[in-house]
């Protein structure tokens, strides 16, 4: 009884907070159905006075093919994740479980790079990308995270480190190489954290704006984050199109989250270490 | 064990291969944008001195044009017209993303990274800055070779403000100026017979604004709504009369009594409720054009483009005026600051325009393109959408700015307002006396001006929310501005 | 024989280790190292972003001495330090939410998605709602405060004393869902058997949390702490959108200072100098945290 009461109380509080959290999304969704001039009115309007699909139509008329932009964004996000998972797992595992000379020092240096402000990187990165002919390509958007997913490496390393060494040692005794241990044992154990890392990088790749702004030029390489800005110039103002584009963006992000819920449920550590 | 390891490595290789294939599918092997600017790491080739290559008319020349927002059908048509008129010049539009600030940021990074650019779209201040940095070629010498083309005669007195170190570095394709719009019906209803005109002073405008303010909440009608949601924009009213950001000795000029007066006037208006506060305008993202059209403002100041946006809002968004404007309104000059000032003064600046990169290999062709985009294209197209700096535009062409509108569904409106709106605007444009022609305006470094404007923005909140009084406010902004103006 | 076997294994470990981190090291060297060197060199010049790189002049330590004499630098440093106060609040909330969303709430699956929404919603939409809620005259929050008898509720973003708290709250609102998600993953990872045996021993909920949950998720806590510290020191786009550093200088932060000096006032050399100082500050704090983790992080 006491537990149920607690549950009820906490549920109410959490749902009350949730209402606050969902307000912007609601406003955005409803605004995508308004004509552009109605979006930013004061007092803040929730329901459209005139329901219209103008916002969505603007996204798909021949001038701006948002289908292409979504596809580009998806490609960037996908490649980012491939890199993060592969390079991230390899690197994190090494820092967590392989004893090599200078491991701690190199790791600290790696983490230190998280501290570098983007303004420092902006222009030099432009110069490098230009040197390699990668300007105005989608590759420029994911190559950085692919090779150096430092946040992911950090998080994965924390997780991997908390896996008991005994598991690793017994596998080694059985004759497994580190690669095999990583692939066959550690990764399956780490589904929740891998999913979290995938989620983090998917969102960041999807919403990344600065990089797209600086390194992409031609229209057919645009990603959603900057394509959306096309509707904010004074002469081509279309606020509802911006809201519509953002609403559509939420769909894959939320889908990922909902599907991944499965991996967040019930820890899996298959009782590997007894006692 | 060895066998299983091999399988593992094979799987890894396959995965990487799959990733690579996927990448190629996604990027469709398009690397032209980057490699056009040459893969050599040592930076750009030195600017070529040879004009001979550009003189042979049959040689196909490619110009790289840095701009943004060039995807509208009107501009596409213009570019097509240019291609027809100049078949030997191919223009590649480098479409930078987004809006103003983002465009400049990306442009600066591209220039810093030595990308090849021939023609640059930019505003006057940017042109000035880039000119002093040697990024642009001066156009006087190129125009001279073009049958002594007289830049000032063709583009008007507004060009006085377009010089840097005595030379022209860019040609504007439009000019921007502010207009005072007022609701005639409201003036009549309140018994005010003296409509605003070029002789109205700021004080008279303020007094009228207070008289015309009525209502509360949803029925509120503001006497006046200013058009720009920044505190430092209020200084435009004294800039028009020759006030300058820096004194002769180079220190900030915020202690000038006119600065104090303009801020005090507006604070008084905000406090009395006749004008919405700048803070509210920012929070509520107020668009004074909408407020005016919906009869919640008796007067507004905004630029000449206002009736054009009204067309979008009424025909496409159907926000108001389903049966045409439902009240009488007129456009007139901005008020004078006080009654000693000359009327019709405005710090009209050349607006957006084009310049030629100093590293361009084809300056003559770039000049042809610029001439087209600032003059010929207006002569050639059916309707125009900006007020060109080019002086030889006919009255009929001018009227199409306001009366011609293409709706989203493709139908074309040819007479959105009737003749008066266009005529009023043309009159204002013809009569405006550019401030720069009356006063010796000292150039100010863009970076320093930005810094002073930021100081005013941040400190003004304290004054307008009543935390400090006007004298302390002026002292503070002067002191802060002096600090940031030192470089 | 044994000794050579041992060193051969150690050698193999070393090689394997470096092979594993090789792709990452390549990326680091090409992008990060070059960027660091580039910006360090620029910080000793007077580059103004638009001029030719070959025309810049070296000015030695002039930029740095100017930075240390600049009031804006010290104000920014102070403001950044103030914003650190939000971090424990954020982390604690994230932890509480994660624990609640793990088991104690009805409709958790939907709630998890909802809490994550502010992190992925369009910034313009979030700002509209935030400005509406906190509108000084017409917003519901101030109306509520007035109904409690507070005649002059804070002007929030228009008030130099309340702008920072407001921005801090905004930061928490938009990022707590993100951290909650990370904590959730960590909590899910804990072996259920540990809780079961604790139950058998008669442990209370509080006891289970303090002795099982908290220690076992401490690596994650450390991660979140570092991420928060870095994010807090680097923040600038939220300042740019919400207050541009004002009112007065109350929300001027180092990240914003760098942005303004570099891209608005065209003093890129100076800005690079500040960026490097910021970098070293963050690294210093991280090192301190690194040392301290021995005391509370259990792997």
Per-residue pLDDT tens digits for C76-91: 999 999 999 999 999 9
CATH topology of domain C76-120+162-296: MetI-like fold (1.10.3720)
From A100, A206, A253, residue closest to C14, measured CB to CB? A100
Task: Give the domain-ending residue among B332, B358, B393.
Answer: B393
In-domain check, residue A195: yes
How high is the pLDDT of residue B52? 37
Asked if B168 and B213 sit in the same domain, the reply is no
Q: How far is B280 from chain A (nearest CA, A)?
A: 10
How high is the pLDDT of residue B225? 95
Confidence of residue C179 (pLDDT cuts 50, 70, 90): very high
Residue of C nearest to B448 (CA): C265
How high is the pLDDT of residue B71? 73
Half-sphere exposure of B326 (CA within 13 A, CB side): 10
From B112, B135, B457, residue closest to C246, measured CB to CB? B457
A37·B290 Cβ contact <8 A: yes
Asked if B252 and B105 sit in the same domain, the reply is no
Q: Are A133 and B31 in contact (CB under 8 A)?
A: yes
pLDDT tens column, A108-121:
889 888 888 888 78
Asked if B304 and B192 sit in the same domain, the reply is yes
- Number of domain units in chain A: 1
Alpha-carbon distance of B334 to B178, in angstroms, equals 7
The DSSP letter of residue B256 is: S
How high is the pLDDT of residue A108? 87
Residue of C nearest to A9 (CA): C105
Q: Give the closest residue to B357 by CA, choosing from B64, B87, B85.
A: B64
Alpha-carbon distance of C21 to C12, in angstroms, equals 14
C283·A31 Cβ contact <8 A: no
How high is the pLDDT of residue B53? 38
Contacts of B31 in chain A (CB under 8 A): 133-134, 136-137
C246·B458 Cβ contact <8 A: yes
From A28, A110, A200, residue closest to C122, measured CB to CB? A28
Q: Give the closest residue to C263 by CA, choosing from B295, A120, B96, A7.
A: A120
In-domain check, residue B1: no
In-domain check, residue A76: yes
In-domain check, residue A77: yes
Q: H-type helices in chain C, by residue range?
A: 2-20, 22-27, 34-42, 62-69, 71-83, 86-99, 108-120, 123-133, 140-147, 163-188, 192-200, 205-208, 214-216, 218-234, 237-242, 254-259, 268-296
Asked if B216 and B318 sit in the same domain, the reply is yes
Residue of C nearest to B477 (CA): C248
Q: How far is CA B238 from CA B210, B234, B263, B445, C198, in A?
A: 21, 8, 11, 19, 76
Percent pLDDT > 70 in chain C is: 97
Half-sphere exposure of C247 (CA within 13 A, CB side): 23
Asked if B322 and B275 sit in the same domain, the reply is yes
What ipTM does this complex have? 0.85
Q: Residue ranges of the domains in chain C?
A: 2-61, 76-120+162-296
Residue of A nearest to B33 (CA): A136
In-domain check, residue B104: yes
Identify from B120, B447, B482 which residue to disrupt to test chain C contact, counting C C-beta atoms within 10 A and taking the largest count. Answer: B447
Who wins on pLDDT, B35 or C58?
A: C58
Query: What SS3 state is found at B252?
Result: strand
How high is the pLDDT of residue B487? 63
B24 in contact with A, Cβ within 8 Å: no
| Structure tokens belonging to residue A27 | 């406003």
A60 in contact with B, Cβ within 8 Å: no
Contacts of C252 in chain B (CB under 8 A): 458
Contacts of B134 in chain C (CB under 8 A): 51-52, 55
Identify from B453, B457, B458, B473 which residue to disrupt to test chain C contact, counting C C-beta atoms within 10 A and taking the largest count. Answer: B458
The DSSP letter of residue B36 is: T
How high is the pLDDT of residue A265? 54
- Number of domain units in chain B: 2
Task: Report the interhelical angle of A150-161 vs A66-97 (nearest 10°).
Answer: 40
How high is the pLDDT of residue C197? 87
C248·B446 Cβ contact <8 A: no
How high is the pLDDT of residue C77? 96
In-domain check, residue A177: yes
B113·A217 Cβ contact <8 A: no
Contacts of C67 in chain B (CB under 8 A): none
Contacts of A266 in chain C (CB under 8 A): 188, 192
Identify from A41, A128, A217, A236 which residue to disrupt to test chain B contact, counting B C-beta atoms within 10 A and taking the largest count. Answer: A217
Which residue range(s) make up the domain with A170?
56-264
Chain centre to alpha carbon of residue C150: 34
How high is the pLDDT of residue B199? 93
Helices (H) and strands (E) in chain A, counts: 15, 0
Q: Which residues contact B117 (CB under 8 A, 6 or more apart)?
A: B64, B65, B66, B94, B110, B111, B357, B359, B360
Asked if B199 and B184 sit in the same domain, the reply is yes
Contacts 24+ apart (CB under 8 A), B81-86: B81/B372, B81/B377, B81/B380, B81/B381, B82/B369, B82/B372, B82/B373, B82/B377, B85/B372, B85/B376, B86/B365, B86/B368, B86/B369, B86/B372
Half-sphere exposure of A97 (CA within 13 A, CB side): 27
Average pLDDT, chain C: 89
C71·B483 Cβ contact <8 A: yes
Alpha-carbon distance of A146 to B471, in angstroms, equals 57
A11·C107 Cβ contact <8 A: yes
Per-window interface: B 273-302 vs A, CB < 8 A: 284-287, 290
Q: Give the closest residue to B125 by CA, choosing from B176, B69, B91, B75.
A: B176
Interface B–C counts its CB contacts (< 8 A) at 75
Alpha-carbon distance of C122 to A244, in angstroms, equals 10
The neighbouring-strand residues paired with C38 are none
Q: How far is A264 from chain C (nearest CA, A)?
A: 6
Contacts of C240 in chain A (CB under 8 A): none
For residues C50-66, average pLDDT: 83
Percent pLDDT > 70 in chain A is: 91
Asked if B124 and B185 sit in the same domain, the reply is no
Residues of chain A with pLDDT under 50: 266-275
Asked if B161 and B249 sit in the same domain, the reply is no
How high is the pLDDT of residue B49? 33
Please state the φ and ψ torsions of residue C45, each to the nearest 5 degrees.
-120, 180
A117·C234 Cβ contact <8 A: yes
A30 in contact with C, Cβ within 8 Å: no
Q: Give the closest residue to A64 by CA, choosing from A248, A252, A244, A219.
A: A219
Alpha carbon dihedral A139, A142, A148, A154, in 10-degree steps, equals -170
Residue of B nearest to A45 (CA): B284
Asked if B223 and B75 sit in the same domain, the reply is no
Q: Are A269 and A64 in contact (CB under 8 A)?
A: no
Q: Are B457 and C246 in contact (CB under 8 A)?
A: yes
How high is the pLDDT of residue A264? 58
A187 in contact with C, Cβ within 8 Å: no
B137 torsion bin: left (phi>0), alpha (psi -120 to 50), beta (else): beta
How high is the pLDDT of residue B481? 94
Identify from C158, C164, C166, C252 which residue to disrupt to test chain B contact, counting B C-beta atoms within 10 A and taking the largest count. Answer: C158
How high is the pLDDT of residue C211? 85
| Structure tokens belonging to residue A274 | 């007894």
How high is the pLDDT of residue B33? 32
Q: What's the CATH code of the domain at B137? A: 3.40.190.10
In-domain check, residue B186: yes
Asked if B197 and B242 sit in the same domain, the reply is yes
Task: Give the domain-ending residue among B360, B393, B426.
Answer: B393
Helix, strand, coil distribution of chain B in percent, nearest 5: 50, 15, 35
How high is the pLDDT of residue B128? 84
Q: What's the CATH code of the domain at A224? A: 1.10.3720.10
C17·A153 Cβ contact <8 A: no
Asked if B116 and B166 sit in the same domain, the reply is yes
Q: H-type helices in C34-70, by residue range?
A: 34-42, 62-69
In-domain check, residue B10: no
Q: Are A110 and A87 in contact (CB under 8 A)?
A: no
The neighbouring-strand residues paired with B136 are B357
Q: Give the pLDDT of chain B (487 residues) as one tens digit per residue.
A: 445 555 555 555 555 555 555 555 454 433 333 333 333 222 223 333 333 334 445 578 899 999 887 777 778 888 999 999 999 999 998 877 666 777 888 888 888 888 889 999 998 888 888 888 888 998 988 888 888 888 888 887 788 878 888 889 999 998 889 999 999 999 999 999 999 999 999 999 999 999 999 998 778 999 999 999 999 999 999 999 999 999 999 899 999 999 999 999 999 999 999 999 998 888 888 889 999 999 999 999 999 999 999 998 899 888 889 888 999 999 999 999 988 999 999 988 788 899 999 888 989 999 999 999 999 888 888 888 888 888 888 888 899 999 999 888 888 998 899 899 999 999 998 888 889 888 888 878 888 999 999 999 999 999 998 889 999 999 999 999 999 887 6
Q: Are A248 and B126 in contact (CB under 8 A)?
A: no
Query: What SS3 state is found at B300?
Result: strand
The DSSP letter of residue B59 is: S
The neighbouring-strand residues paired with B68 are B96
In-domain check, residue A41: no
Residue of C nearest to A193 (CA): C185
Contacts of A235 in chain B (CB under 8 A): 69, 72, 385
Confidence of residue C108 (pLDDT cuts 50, 70, 90): confident
| Structure tokens belonging to residue C268 | 């890129």
pTM of model > 0.90:
no
Which residue range(s) make up the domain with B90?
56-175+350-393
Per-window interface: A 114-133 vs C, CB < 8 A: 114-121, 123-125, 127-128
């Amino acid at each position: 009884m006491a537990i149920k009461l607690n549950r009820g109380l906490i549920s109410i509080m959490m749902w009350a907070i949730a209402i606050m959290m969902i307000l912007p999304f609601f406003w955005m969704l409803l605004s995508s159905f308004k004509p552009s001039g109605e979006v930013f009115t004061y007092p803040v309007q929730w329901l459209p006075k005139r329901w219209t699909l103008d916002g969505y139509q603007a996204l798909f008329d021949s001038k701006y093919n948002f289908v292409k932009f979504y596809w580009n964004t998806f490609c960037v996000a996908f490649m980012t994740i491939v890199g993060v998972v592969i390079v991230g797992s390899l690197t994190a595992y090494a820092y967590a479980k392989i004893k090599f000379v200078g491991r701690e020092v190199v790791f600290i240096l790696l983490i230190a790079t998280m501290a570098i402000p983007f303004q420092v990187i902006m222009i030099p990165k432009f110069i490098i990308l230009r040197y390699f002919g990668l300007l105005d390509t989608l590759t420029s958007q994911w190559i950085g995270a692919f090779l150096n997913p430092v946040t992911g490496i950090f998080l994965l390393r924390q997780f991997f480190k908390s896996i008991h060494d005994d598991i690793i040692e017994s596998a080694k005794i059985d004759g497994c190489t580190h690669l095999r241990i990583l692939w066959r044992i550690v990764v399956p154990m780490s589904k929740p954290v891998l999913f979290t890392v995938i989620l983090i990088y998917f969102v960041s790749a999807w919403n990344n704006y600065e990089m797209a702004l600086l390194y992409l030029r031609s229209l057919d390489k645009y990603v959603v984050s900057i394509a959306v800005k096309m509707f904010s110039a004074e002469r081509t103002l279309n606020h509802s199109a911006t809201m519509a584009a953002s609403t559509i963006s939420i769909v894959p992000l939320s889908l990922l989250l909902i599907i991944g819920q499965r991996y967040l449920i019930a820890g899996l550590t298959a009782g590997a270490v007894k006692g | 064990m060895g066998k299983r390891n091999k399988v593992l490595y094979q799987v890894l290789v396959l995965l990487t291969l799959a990733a690579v294939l996927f990448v190629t599918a996604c990027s469709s092997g398009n690397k032209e944008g980057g490699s056009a600017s040459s893969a050599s790491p040592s930076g750009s080739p030195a600017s070529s001195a040879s004009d001979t290559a550009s003189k042979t008319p049959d040689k196909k020349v490619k110009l790289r044009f840095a701009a943004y927002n060039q995807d509208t059908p009107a501009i596409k048509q213009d570019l097509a017209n240019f291609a027809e008129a100049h078949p030997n010049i191919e223009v590649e539009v480098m479409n930078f993303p987004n809006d103003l600030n983002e465009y400049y940021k990306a442009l600066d990074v591209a220039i810093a990274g030595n990308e090849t650019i021939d023609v640059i779209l930019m505003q006057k201040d940017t042109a000035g800055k880039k000119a002093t940095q040697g990024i642009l070629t001066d156009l006087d010498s190129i125009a001279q070779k073009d049958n002594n083309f007289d830049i000032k005669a063709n583009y008007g007195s507004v060009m006085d403000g377009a010089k840097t170190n005595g030379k022209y570095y860019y040609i504007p394709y439009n000019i921007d100026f502010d207009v005072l719009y007022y609701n005639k019906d409201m003036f009549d209803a309140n018994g005010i017979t003296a409509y605003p005109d070029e002789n109205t002073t700021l004080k008279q405008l303020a007094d009228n604004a207070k008289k015309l303010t009525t209502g509360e909440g949803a029925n509120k009608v503001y006497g006046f709504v200013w058009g720009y949601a920044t505190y430092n924009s209020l200084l435009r009213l004294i800039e028009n009369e020759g006030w300058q950001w820096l004194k002769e000795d180079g220190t900030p000029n915020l202690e000038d009594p006119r600065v104090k007066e303009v801020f005090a006037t507006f604070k008084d208006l905000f406090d009395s409720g006749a004008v919405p506060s700048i803070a509210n305008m920012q929070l509520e993202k107020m668009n004074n054009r909408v407020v005016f059209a919906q009869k919640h403002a008796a007067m507004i100041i905004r630029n000449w483009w206002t009736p054009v946006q009204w067309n979008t809002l009424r025909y496409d968004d159907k926000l108001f005026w389903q049966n045409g404007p439902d009240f009488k309104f007129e456009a007139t000059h901005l008020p004078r600051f006080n009654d000693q000032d000359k009327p019709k003064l405005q710090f009209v600046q050349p607006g957006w325009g084009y310049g030629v990169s100093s590293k361009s290999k084809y300056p003559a062709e770039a000049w042809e393109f610029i001439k087209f985009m600032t003059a010929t294209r207006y002569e050639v197209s059916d309707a125009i959408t900006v007020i060109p700096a080019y002086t030889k535009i006919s009255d009929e062409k001018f009227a199409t700015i306001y009366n011609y509108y293409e709706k989203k569904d493709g139908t074309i409106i040819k007479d959105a307002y009737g003749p008066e709106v266009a005529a009023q605007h043309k009159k204002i444009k013809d009569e405006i006396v550019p401030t720069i022609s009356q006063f010796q305006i000292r150039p100010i470094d863009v970076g320093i001006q930005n810094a002073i404007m930021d100081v005013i923005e941040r400190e003004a909140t304290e004054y307008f929310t009543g935390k400090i009084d006007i004298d302390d406010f002026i002292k503070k902004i002067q002191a802060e501005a002096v600090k940031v103006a030192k470089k | 024989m044994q000794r050579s076997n041992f060193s051969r294994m150690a050698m193999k470990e070393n090689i394997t280790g470096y092979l594993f981190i090789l792709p990452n090291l390549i990326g680091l060297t090409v992008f990060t190292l070059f960027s660091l060197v580039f910006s360090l060199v620029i910080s000793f010049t007077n580059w103004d972003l638009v001029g030719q790189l070959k025309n810049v002049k070296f000015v030695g330590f002039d930029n740095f001495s100017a930075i240390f004499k600049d009031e804006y630098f010290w104000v920014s440093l102070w403001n950044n330090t103030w914003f650190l106060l939000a971090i424990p609040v954020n982390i604690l909330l994230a932890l509480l939410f994660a624990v609640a969303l793990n088991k104690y709430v009805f409709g958790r699956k939907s709630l998890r998605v909802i809490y994550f929404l502010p992190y992925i919603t369009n910034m313009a939409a979030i700002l509209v709602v935030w400005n509406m809620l906190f509108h000084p005259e017409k917003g519901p929050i101030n109306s509520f405060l007035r109904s409690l008898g507070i005649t002059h509720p804070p002007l929030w973003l228009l008030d130099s004393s309340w702008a920072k708290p407001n921005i801090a709250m905004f930061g928490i609102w938009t990022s707590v869902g993100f951290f909650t998600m990370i904590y959730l993953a960590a909590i899910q990872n804990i072996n259920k058997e540990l809780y079961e045996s604790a139950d058998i021993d008669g442990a209370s909920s509080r006891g289970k949390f303090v002795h099982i949950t908290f220690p076992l998720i401490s690596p994650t806590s450390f991660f979140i702490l570092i991420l928060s510290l870095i994010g807090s020191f680097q923040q600038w786009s939220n300042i740019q959108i919400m207050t541009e550093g004002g009112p007065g200088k109350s929300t001027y932060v180092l990240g914003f200072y760098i942005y303004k000096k570099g891209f608005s006032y065209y003093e890129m050399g100076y800005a690079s100098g500040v960026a490097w100082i910021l970098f070293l500050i963050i690294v210093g704090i991280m090192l301190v945290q690194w040392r301290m983790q021995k005391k509370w992080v259990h792997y």
